[in-house]
């Protein structure tokens, strides 16, 4: 589904840059119970996003990384292509993380018991790293943390483990 949108700015918080999604498109996506979407902006992407609701309309958030990469500013007109995201975690699962999940039965069990949002957050932590060795270290730290904490995520402890593994 394609449409022309405009990058707008909510004035009340730091999650402010967004593109309103026409109601008819949002309704079509929501009929399939899909709020997770793949979005192309000016033919670039796709980016994994979520369909969000404000009081007046549906929208997608455009984070700073995407705005910087595509040189976008508030008020810019954009060509948007949007479709349902059927990926399991809202991001592509990095091979390094998948290998560890296949090998670590206990860590995998704890990971699978997390809410979809927490799973997505952990996968994103690994996905955003470009270097394969660094992705593996971050994956190891996450699986180690899940086993130590019995599946309860403490991001402060997790960050300490990530620092530890990065220094190995």
Please give the order of strands across the beta sheet that includes 17-21: 8-9, 17-21, 58-61, 52-53
Domain 2-84: which CATH class? mainly beta
pLDDT at 15: 65
Report pLDDT digits (tens) over 89-100.
877 888 999 999
Tens digits of residue pLDDT in 40-89? 999 998 998 989 988 889 999 999 989 999 999 999 999 999 998 888 88
Domain residue ranges in the chain: 2-84, 95-167
Are residues 91 and 70 in contact, defined by beta-carbon separation less than 8 angstroms?
no
What is d(CA 103, CA 11) in angstroms, rounded to the nearest whole number? 47
pLDDT band at 14, cuts 50/70/90? low
| Radius of gyration of the CA atoms of the chain, in A | 18
Chain segment 96-153, per-residue pLDDT in tens: 999 999 999 999 999 999 998 899 889 989 988 889 999 999 999 999 999 999 999 9
């Amino acid at each position: 589904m394609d449409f022309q949108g405009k990058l707008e700015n909510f004035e009340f918080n730091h999650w402010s840059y967004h593109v309103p999604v026409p109601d008819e498109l949002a309704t079509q996506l929501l009929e399939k119970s899909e709020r997770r979407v793949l979005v192309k902006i000016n033919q670039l992407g796709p980016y994994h996003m979520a369909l969000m609701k404000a009081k007046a309309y549906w929208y997608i958030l455009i984070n700073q990384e995407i705005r910087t990469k595509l040189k976008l500013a508030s008020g810019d007109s954009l060509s948007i292509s949007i479709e349902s995201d059927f990926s399991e975690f809202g991001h592509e699962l990095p091979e390094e993380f998948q290998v560890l999940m296949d090998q670590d039965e206990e860590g995998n069990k704890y990971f699978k018991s997390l809410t979809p949002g927490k799973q997505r957050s952990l996968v994103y932590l690994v996905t955003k790293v470009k270097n394969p060795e660094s992705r593996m270290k971050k994956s190891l730290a996450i699986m180690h943390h899940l086993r130590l904490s019995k599946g309860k995520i403490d991001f402060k402890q997790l960050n300490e483990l990530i620092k530890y593994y990065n220094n190995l």
